[in-house]
Chains A and B, each alone.
Chain A
Amino acid sequence: MTVAALFTTAIELTGPQRFLLMLPLCLSIAVVYKTMRLEDVRAIPAASLILWATIVLAMCAVGVGLWAVFSIMV
């Protein structure tokens, strides 16, 4: 019953730390994508980490860019 309660009760997310939830989601996307693409399974961890860092940095760059454009225009 305790295990079921873990999945029936929502977690309350507040504050800027909620953006950290982007990191594991990006990691799972990177791992599955590289698992499908690479033929050598030993290369999956390193390639996944590189792709994960690329996704996160690119999203941060897009976010900063949009924030700068918003700051200039408003």
Chain B
Amino acid sequence: MALVPPEPATNPAALAYAPRNALLTGPIAGFLAWLVPGLGHMYLGHRVRGVVCLVTITVTFWTGVAIGGVQATVDPHERTLWFMAQLCTGCNTLAAYGLHSIVEPHPVAGQRPPAVLAHWLSSDVGVHYTGVAGLLNLLAILDALGRADAPSPKRARRDHPPGVPRP
């Protein structure tokens, strides 16, 4: 029995499963997934998956902010660990923290800063919503990093039409 020579490097079927640019694709996808939820998946060609992540995580985060109020929800000084979880949503937390800085009452010299009035239950629910949104985006970031070496769905469909056996 004669040995089958290895596939040449120009074979599209072999190229489809070769890493695109292993050095850059993973970090870029991970950074984009952190910056905007779902953007890493869109960059990798998983558009539907990316849109689902974008809508779900963004709506969850801003629902939490609306429930608890931005001052009691996104607070790196009072809720440091929760803020670290919220930071996983990237630009959402940065925007919320910017809003927090804008609306935060500035203390007058010689006086205590006015307390942020929020119902304790509202702020707790808001923090849970935003923290869970951050942890869900952390899951999405790790998934995008894992998918970075695989071919995009479009490229895989083009190179391997359904019903055609793979080499």
Report the number of A-B residue pairs with Cβ-Cβ less than 8 Å: 81
Q: For chain A, give the interface size range.
A: 20 to 34
Q: Residues on A close to B: CB < 8 A?
A: 4, 6-14, 18, 21, 24-25, 28-29, 31-33, 35-36, 41, 44
Task: From known contacts A28-B60, A32-B57, infer whether A12 and B69 are also in contact, taking CB-CB under 8 Å.
Answer: no
Summarize B's interface: helix, strand, loop or mixed.
helix
In whole angstroms, how far apart are the Cα atoms of A33 and B57 in the complex?
A: 11
Task: Judge whether A28 and B140 touch: CB under 8 Å.
Answer: no
A7-B70, A10-B126, A11-B66 given. 8 additional CB < 8 A pairs? A8-B99, A10-B67, A10-B118, A11-B119, A13-B121, A25-B132, A32-B52, A36-B143
CB distance from B31 to the nearest CB of A (A): 18
Task: Judge whether B139 and A32 touch: CB under 8 Å.
Answer: yes
Summarize A's interface: helix, strand, loop or mixed.
helix
CB distance from A69 to the nearest CB of B (A): 24
Task: Judge whether B123 and A10 touch: CB under 8 Å.
Answer: yes
CB distance from B35 to the nearest CB of A (A): 17
CB contact between B59 and one of A6, A21, A28, A35 (< 8 Å): that residue: A28
In whole angstroms, how far apart are the Cα atoms of A33 and B103 in the complex?
A: 35
Q: For chain B, give the interface size range.
A: 35 or more
In whole angstroms, how far apart are the Cα atoms of A22 and B93 in the complex?
A: 22
Task: From known contacts A10-B72, A12-B119, A29-B136, infer whether A21 and B67 are also in contact, taking CB-CB under 8 Å.
Answer: yes
B residues 74-130 touching A (CB-CB < 8 Å): 96, 99, 103, 117-119, 121-123, 125-126, 128-129
Which residues in B have their C-beta under 8 angstroms from that of A36? 49, 139-140, 143
Task: Judge whether B70 and A8 touch: CB under 8 Å.
Answer: yes
In whole angstroms, how far apart are the Cα atoms of A29 and B103 in the complex?
A: 30
CB contact between A8 and one of B52, B59, B63, B71 (< 8 Å): that residue: B71
CB contact between A12 and one of B65, B70, B103, B122 (< 8 Å): that residue: B122
CB distance from B1 to the nearest CB of A (A): 36
In whole angstroms, how far apart are the Cα atoms of A29 and B138 in the complex?
A: 12
In whole angstroms, how far apart are the Cα atoms of A13 and B126 in the complex?
A: 11
Which residues in A have their C-beta under 8 angstroms from that of B29? none
Q: Which residue of A lies closest to B132 (CB)?
A: A25
Which residues in A have their C-beta under 8 angstroms from that of B99? 4, 7-8
